[in-house]
């Protein structure tokens, strides 16, 4: 049967990383490939008790809810964001099915075919897929380890008149980068100058290893509160299965996204939102986030020590100051997609860097996730990986 799909489906791409993950999900393989949080410290009992409180509160807890989401949870998010310097009201907070849905809803209300989105290279692959699904052209802005290069950003704003800039300034996926305060301010300033919105995607901001890093989201620097659409999620600080994220930003933008959401799914699961409300009320989430920071920092250091022993002439990486990922670059001859097959044979997996690139993919890069595996597994996996990295010639062509 020739299914007459709508023309825009021609822009739908399957995630290259998901396809890679299938290869890596064999029982004996230690996988540093996925972007999974540590299951062994999920607050299972607290989540269970929060759901019990929802059900104990009676039949009305099972009713349809507001498109914008459960008000007491929005109030709790509002006060958590105040602590980060983002002064929203409950009216301009919309609860969503993960921050992934924010990326989609925002694209849906902003992008027409041919529009331009500026982003860093490499960047979050599933955001690229969404932007392209609406027919947008994603253009890479040059960057270094401090963030987007303001000179290139200015040139590209002038040349392309982008609809928005997509940024993950705090412990990015895939490369773990932390932007400097100056680069955050430069982006904001150029956005004001050229009348461009910023979509600030901040799923990892809480997973900060060094308390002395005084990190302000770009949304907190936007004193006029008119430029930045900020999204975050409970996927990394509580559990991803709750599928609860949120967006805050200029009221007109958030209201338009709420209209789009209404058409899309009426509202996200209100049972999950109520459970999260009880969890935030009765569970020490800040204490739990502290535990996540300690555990992930420890796991990252184990990985880092292995990579450091490889020698800087062969591989380069920078030690992330938070988040869940390390980004490694090998010499110019290395093709990490080829290398992955060898690694999987040895029982370890990573994600090759190429799919995360907008323009010229660097075939010699790869991403390692350090949050998911317990220390002993990390050691075993890194033993295997180092062996493969030091003998790339064995790769079967």
Residues that bind ligand PLP (CB under 6 A): 35, 98-100, 124, 168, 173, 201, 203, 233, 235, 240, 245
Nearest residue to 325 via CA among 116, 104, 37: 37
Nearer to ligand PLP, 279 or 389 (CB): 279
Instruction: Please tell me whether residue 198 adopts helix, strand or coil conformation.
Output: strand
Minimum Å gap between C-beta 391 and ligand PLP is 31
Nearer to ligand PLP, 105 or 389 (CB): 105
Nearer to ligand PLP, 234 or 315 (CB): 234
Nearer to ligand PLP, 67 or 235 (CB): 235
Minimum Å gap between C-beta 268 and ligand PLP is 11
Minimum Å gap between C-beta 276 and ligand PLP is 13
Minimum Å gap between C-beta 368 and ligand PLP is 14
Q: How far is CA 179 from each of CA 3, 192, 288, 355, 359, rounded to the nearest angstrom?
A: 46, 19, 25, 22, 21
Please give the Cα distance from 307 to 366 (Å, whole number): 13
Pairing of strands 316-317, 325-329: antiparallel
Nearer to ligand PLP, 292 or 389 (CB): 292
Determine what percent of the chain falls in helix, strand and coil, rounding each to the nearest 5.
Answer: 50, 15, 35
Nearer to ligand PLP, 42 or 306 (CB): 42
**What ranges make up the beta strands (E) of the chain?**
30-31, 93-97, 116-120, 137-141, 143-144, 147-148, 164-167, 197-201, 228-233, 244-248, 316-317, 325-329, 348-349, 351-352, 365-369
Minimum Å gap between C-beta 9 and ligand PLP is 22
Nearer to ligand PLP, 98 or 176 (CB): 98
Residue 238 corresponds to which tokens in the numbers above? 């509580």
- Give the distance from CA 334 to its chain's centroid: 27
Minimum Å gap between C-beta 34 and ligand PLP is 9
Residues linked to residue 244 through DSSP beta bridges, in sequence order? 97
Minimum Å gap between C-beta 35 and ligand PLP is 5
Q: Is residue 174 reached through a cis peptide bond, with omega within 30 degrees of 0 on the bond before it? A: yes
Nearer to ligand PLP, 173 or 274 (CB): 173
Return the sign of the alpha-carbon dihedral for residues 311, 313, 315, 321.
Answer: positive
Nearer to ligand PLP, 324 or 344 (CB): 324
Residue 226 corresponds to which tokens in the numbers above? 């008119």
Q: How far is CA 298 from each of CA 149, 161, 324, 382, 396, rounded to the nearest angstrom?
A: 31, 43, 12, 15, 35
Asked if residues 276 and 54 have their Cβ atoms less than 8 Å apart, the reply is no
Minimum Å gap between C-beta 288 and ligand PLP is 17
Minimum Å gap between C-beta 37 and ligand PLP is 9
Asked if residues 40 and 46 have their Cβ atoms less than 8 Å apart, the reply is no
Nearer to ligand PLP, 37 or 347 (CB): 37
Residues linked to residue 201 through DSSP beta bridges, in sequence order? 231
Max distance between CA atoms of the chain, in angstroms, equals 64
Q: Which residue is nearest to ligand PLP (CB)?
A: 98
Pairing of strands 137-141, 116-120: parallel
Minimum Å gap between C-beta 98 and ligand PLP is 2
């Amino acid at each position: 049967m020739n299914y007459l799909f709508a023309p825009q489906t021609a822009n739908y791409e399957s995630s290259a990383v998901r396809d890679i993950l299938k290869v890596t999900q064999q029982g004996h393989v230690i996988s540093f490939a996925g972007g999974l949080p540590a299951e062994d410290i999920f607050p299972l009992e607290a989540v269970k008790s929060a759901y019990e409180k929802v059900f104990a509160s009676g039949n009305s807890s099972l009713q349809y809810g507001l498109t914008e989401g459960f008000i007491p949870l929005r109030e709790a998010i509002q006060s958590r964001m105040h602590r980060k310097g983002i002064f929203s009201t409950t009216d301009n907070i919309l609860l969503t099915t993960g921050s992934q849905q924010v990326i989609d809803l925002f694209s849906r209300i902003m992008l027409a075919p041919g529009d331009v989105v500026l982003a860093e290279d490499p960047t979050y692959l599933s955001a690229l897929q969404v932007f392209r699904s609406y027919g947008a052209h994603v253009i890479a802005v040059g960057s270094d380890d401090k963030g987007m290069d303001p000179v290139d950003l200015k040139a590209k704003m002038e040349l392309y008149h982008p609809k928005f800039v997509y940024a993950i300034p705090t412990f990015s996926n895939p490369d773990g980068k932390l932007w400097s305060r100056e680069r955050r301010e430069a982006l904001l300033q150029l956005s004001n100058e050229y009348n461009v919105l910023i979509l600030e995607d901040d799923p990892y901001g809480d997973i900060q290893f060094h308390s002395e890093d005084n990190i302000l989201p770009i949304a907190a620097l936007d004193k006029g509160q008119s430029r930045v659409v900020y999204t975050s999620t409970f996927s990394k600080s509580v559990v991803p299965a709750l599928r609860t994220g949120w967006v805050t930003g200029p009221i007109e933008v958030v209201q338009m996204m709420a209209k789009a959401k209404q058409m899309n799914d009426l509202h996200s699961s209100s049972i999950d939102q109520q459970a999260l409300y009880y969890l935030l009320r009765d569970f020490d989430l800040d204490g739990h986030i502290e535990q996540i920071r300690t555990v992930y920092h420890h796991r990252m250091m184990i990985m880092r020590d292995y990579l450091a022993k490889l020698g800087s002439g062969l591989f380069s990486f920078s030690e992330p100051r938070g988040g869940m990922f390390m980004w490694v670059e090998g010499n110019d001859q290395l093709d990490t997609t080829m290398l992955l097959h060898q690694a999987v044979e040895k029982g370890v997996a990573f994600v090759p860097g190429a799919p995360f690139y907008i323009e010229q993919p660097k075939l010699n890069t790869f991403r390692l996730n350090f949050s998911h595996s317990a220390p002993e597994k990390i050691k075993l996996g890194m033993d295997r990986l180092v062996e493969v990295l030091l003998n790339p010639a064995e790769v079967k062509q």
